[in-house]
Amino acid sequence: MNKLVIDGVKLISDAYDSVPVFTGADGHQINGLYGAFYKMKELLSSGTYDGFDISFSEQAPCTESVKWQITRFSELLSAINGMTVPGESSVTPDVLAALEETLKGLSPSGKVVETPKFKHSMTITSDLNEVEEIFKKASGASTVSYYFITEKEGKDKSDIKALGLALCFDEASAVYIPVVNFITTAYLGQKLSELSGGSSLVTFDIKESYRFFTPAEITDRVSGYDAGDMSFADKPRCFDVLIGAYLNNPLKNDYEPWDISTEYLGIPMARKADVFGKELLSSSAEEKVADYACKIAYISFASAPPIRAKLAKTGMEKLFYNVEMPLSYILYAMEKEGIITRRDALKDYGDKLLVRIEELEKAIYGASGCTFNINSPKQLGEVLFEKLGLPAEKKTKSGYSTAAEVLEKLAPQHKIVADILEYRGLTKLKSTYADGLAAFIEKDDRIHTSFNQTITATGRISSTEPNLQNIPMRTELGRLIRKVFVPKDGYVFADADYSQIELRILAHMSGDQGLISAYHEGDDIHAITASKVFHVPFSEVTPLQRRNAKAVNFGIVYGISSFGLSQDLSISVGEAKDYMEKYFETYPGVRSYQDRAIQDAKDKGYSETLFGRRRPIPELKSGNYNLKQFGERVAMNAPIQGTAADIMKIAMINVYFRIKRENLKSRLILQIHDELVIETAPDEVEKVSEILVEEMEKAVTLAVPMEVDCHTGSDWYEAK
């Protein structure tokens, strides 16, 4: 009996270092995995062993790629019949054959395919004369990619330091210029600004580089969006590969350099965490930092052409150059501006909430006869449905549902329920808003949110750290939080929002004459709809009829089902069905639009906005009923939500450059999907209100008018 002892981790690590790098069909680097199988097969087929024992030692710190290979190794082995992982197995002809098969599966040709590798050479220089020479040479290139490698060095968002700049302007080389001595970020920024006048600048995540320089196309610009502008075809323009990759496929979770490199160049690249782990870049070897930065510059340089080609092929070049690229600068400017947030007022608000929260806590413990964590759905469920014996309705994956919707139905049965609901509402306001927002107020007394341009599937922008797009509005108590957001001394807020932009887009895209004329008839679209649907004169529409019509109007935009509508209105499915039937009789074009939207998306595999933005909908091809239904709702909604996003982006460009053109002091600071907020100078209030309404309304011309409401006030509560 001769047994081979195998340590899977060591086997892979050894192979990882000795086998040429190559990747599998899914883009994963699999050299270690392949090598491990190869070596195992060789050893076991030698006839020396009749059994083997596989184990996996404690994993020493290793790269993500190696970790992945270890996991996959274990999975593939486990799938082999007669194999125990970890544990002992015997060497049988079946096992040997299976190993051979697995090996072939990893590399179908039976050969090791060498993965493309970075071929650029790298130089590092901090000599001012040499750097001058480099920029001189770069200015002769039509395309230059750059990447600032940065590090956070303080609490505030502005506390960011550039360690160096990587440049790449040919396929063969890249250069890294550390920020040191005469080579300051201001110097590098100046050089890039100059360069941007004559060369196309390419980078990854351009919004993050605007803090160092402003490209010529922004510096010189004072005009708004021009649908017919094709000047990107022959004039040098900035190109952000991140935004390009997002437009090409907005469904991905992230678009790291690693990812772009694999997808567009086929070159695997270690992720930032794999290269640096938790070490500070400023204390890492300069060579390592330079190598990483240069790879990003190289990837940007090399992937820009295929990314652009794909944009051109799918008709999204104009969307990219005329909307997304200029927008990226506006988002940067808004983030930099920030919004003044009154620390003291927020603290007072939180303190007041706390008083009531503690009262409620006592009342809840008293009524339940025990103390427990009210914030834990698990514990709350046990108290309500087991200890107190309230009827449990909905179950979630992990137990009873204690969602507000469920508790509201339970409220009449026990006085504790109303207290729990109030407690939930108040703790939400305290933790997410009072305390949550306070943590983001920076040294300048402002909150600087991050606007993310490459997150949503539909083309909307999102806001994080903190999210300023979900500040309470619906309840008075919550809405009061808006009073802590104020303009600077003497200034006011001007807040403009589109009136029912999505429904208007539906009217336009469906071409339904009834819906279109409803918008020309008057401003209360829900009442008009109720009047038409229920066949009553406009003046006799009851509040209930209006409410129902409004719910259907909203639901239609989301691709509602009769079940969904019944839930929303707390009516029977039959009644909901009836409402929808009547709605479609009133606006037959809406139904045919929805059918068309679904069919189109099924045929093409994606949905499209008025401005050509695409959203792939792979769910439509799914065999899973629920998934397919979801795909159909997405197909109905995405063109509408996406078109609204496009229109708002165009409006932002028009507003921003108009303010610049007219040399105003007022500044755009927030976007909340259909709403813009401007911190407005006192002598510019009328002008700014006029600009907002005018530019937002004329951003696009549809079959129905765009209506914009604008309010001003001395805080966000007042202005809304």
Partner DNA sequence: TCGTGTTGCAA
Partner DNA sequence: TATTGCAACACGA
Q: Which residue has the tokens 């020493």?
A: 60
- Rule CB under 7 A: choose which of 72, 191, 460, 658 binds DNA: 460
Q: Which residue stretch of 54-62, 315-323, 338-346, 469-477 sits at the interface with DNA (rule: CB under 7 A)?
A: 469-477
Give the DSSP per-residue string, 393-437. --EETTEE---HHHHHHHGGG-HHHHHHHHHHHHHHIIIIIIIHH
DSSP string, 61-96: S--HHHHHHHHHHHHHHHTSTT--SSEEEE--HHHH
Q: CB of 637: closest distance to DNA in angstroms?
A: 4
Q: Which span sits near DNA by CB under 7 A: 31-39, 333-341, 503-511, 633-641?
A: 633-641
Backbone φ and ψ of 518, nearest 5°? -55, -40
With binding defined as CB under 7 A, does residue 630 bind DNA? yes
For the bound state, the minimum distance from the C-beta of residue 473 to DNA, rounded and expressed in Å, comes to 4
Tell me whether residue 313 or residue 621 sits nearer to DNA (CB atom): 621
Own/partner pairs, 534-543, CB within 8 angstroms, 24+ separation: 534/582
Of 51, 306, 564, 713, the residue at the interface with DNA (CB under 7 A) is 564
Q: How far is the CB of 428 from DNA (least distance, A)?
A: 5
Q: Using the minimum distance from each CB to DNA, give the nearer residue, 173 or 629.
A: 629
# of chain residues touching DNA (CB under 7 A): 71
Q: Pick from 185, 261, 609, 637 the residue near DNA by CB under 7 A.
A: 637
Nearer residue to DNA within complex by CB, 217 or 419: 419
Cβ contacts of residue 416 below 8 Å, gap of 6+? 363, 364, 367, 368, 384, 388
Q: Name the packing angle between helices 588-604 and 573-586 (round to 10°).
A: 100
Among 86, 198, 306, 377, binds DNA (CB under 7 A): 377
Q: Which of 18, 78, 223, 375 binds DNA (CB under 7 A)?
A: 375
Q: Nearest approach, Cβ of 193 to DNA (angstroms)? A: 31
> In angstroms, what is the minimal distance from the CB of 90 to DNA?
30
Q: What are phi and psi of 665, to 5 degrees?
A: -90, -20
Angle (deg, nearest 10), helices 543-558 and 562-569 = 140
Q: How far apart are CA 292 and CA 151, in angstroms?
A: 14
Copy the structure tokens of residue 279: 């070490």
User: Any contact of residue 125 with DNA (CB under 7 A)?
Assistant: no
The residue within the footprint of DNA, chosen from 112, 629, 660, 685 (CB under 7 A), is: 629
- Is residue 322 at the binding interface for DNA, with CB under 7 A as the rule? no
Q: Which of 84, 173, 499, 567 binds DNA (CB under 7 A)?
A: 567
472 is a contact residue toward DNA (CB under 7 A): yes
Q: Restricting to residues 522-561, which ones interact with DNA according to CB under 7 A? A: 551, 554-555, 558-561
514 binds DNA (CB under 7 A): no
Candidates 46, 48, 223, 396; binder of DNA (CB under 7 A) is 396
Q: Does 362 interact with DNA (rule: CB under 7 A)?
A: no
- 377/396 Cα distance (integer angstroms): 10
Contact window for DNA (CB under 7 A) among 28-36, 369-377, 410-418, 581-589: 369-377
Nearer to DNA, 324 or 684 (CB): 324
Regarding 505 and contact with DNA (CB under 7 A), the answer is no
Single out the residue of 79, 113, 473, 536 in contact with DNA (rule: CB under 7 A).
473
- Of residues 589, 605, 670, 676, the one with CA closest to residue 638: 605
What are 486's strand-pairing partners?
340
Distances from the Cα of 118 to the Cα of 204, 270, 272, 301, 368, angstroms = 17, 12, 16, 12, 66
User: CB of 303: closest distance to DNA in angstroms?
Assistant: 23
The span from the CA of 404 to the CA of 420, in Å, is 9
Can residue 158 be called a binding residue for DNA (CB under 7 A)?
no
Three-point CA angle 75, 79, 81, nearest 5°: 145
Q: Is there binding between residue 49 and DNA (CB under 7 A)?
A: no
Minimum CB–partner distance for residue 44 and DNA (Å): 31
Window contacting DNA (CB under 7 A); options: 190-198, 241-249, 392-400, 516-524? 392-400
Q: Name which of 337, 378, 344 is nearest 656 in CA terms.
A: 337
Least Cβ distance, residue 697 to DNA (angstroms): 16
Contact call for residues 699 and 706 (beta carbons, < 8 A)? yes
Binding residue for DNA, selected from 160, 363, 455, 685, defined by CB under 7 A = 455
How far is CA 657 from each of CA 197, 327, 506, 654, 711, rounded to the nearest angstrom?
19, 11, 29, 6, 21
Stretch that binds DNA, among 309-317, 375-383, 517-525, 653-661 (CB under 7 A): 375-383
Residue 674 sits in the site that holds DNA (CB under 7 A)? yes
Q: Which is nearer to DNA, 394 or 488 (CB)?
A: 394
- The reply on whether position 55 binds DNA by CB under 7 A is no
Considering only 111, 155, 474, 535, the residue that binds DNA (CB under 7 A) is 474
Contacts of 51 (CB under 8 A, 6+ apart): 1, 2, 3, 4, 88, 89, 90, 91
3-state secondary structure of 624: coil
One of 211, 446, 508, 633 touching DNA (CB under 7 A): 633
Number of residues that this document lists for the chain: 720
Kindly tell me which of 42 and 64 has the beta carbon lying closer to DNA.
64
- 94 interacts with DNA by CB under 7 A: no
Give 118 or 385: the residue with its C-beta nearer to DNA: 385
User: Is residue 161 near DNA by the rule CB under 7 A?
Assistant: no
Nearest approach in angstroms of CB 297 to DNA is: 27
- Per the CB < 8 A criterion, the answer to whether 677 and 667 are in contact is no
Phi, psi dihedrals of residue 463, rounded to the nearest 5° = -130, 135
DSSP assigned state of 108? T
Distance of CA 642 to CAs 456, 541, 656, Å? Answer: 10, 32, 21
- Is residue 713 involved in binding DNA (CB under 7 A)? no
Using CB under 7 A as the binding rule, whether residue 649 contacts DNA is answered as: no
The reply on whether position 568 binds DNA by CB under 7 A is: yes
Q: What angle do CA 82, 86, 92 make, to 5 degrees?
A: 30
Q: Which of 675, 690, 694, 697 binds DNA (CB under 7 A)?
A: 675
403 binds DNA (CB under 7 A): yes
Closest of 508, 513, 542 to residue 527, by C-alpha: 542
| Using rule CB under 7 A, residue 572 touches DNA | no
- Between CA 523 and CA 714 the distance in angstroms is 28
**Distance of closest approach, residue 493 Cβ to DNA, in angstroms:** 14
Instruction: Please identify which residue in 193, 467, 499, 714 interacts with DNA, judged by CB under 7 A.
Output: 467
* Pick 57 or 475: Cβ nearer DNA: 475
Is the CB of 41 or the CB of 252 nearer to DNA?
A: 252
Stretch of residues binding DNA (CB under 7 A), selected from 44-52, 98-106, 370-378, 599-607:
370-378
Does 462 help bind DNA (rule: CB under 7 A)? yes
In angstroms, the CA 382 to CA 657 distance is 58
Quote the least distance from Cβ 374 to DNA, whole Å.
8
Given phi > 0 = left and psi -120 to 50 = alpha, else beta, which region is 205?
left
Q: What are phi and psi of 429, to 5 degrees?
A: -60, -40
- 89 CB neighbour count, 10 Å cutoff: 17
412-451: contacts with DNA (CB under 7 A): 421, 424-425, 428, 431-432, 435-436, 439
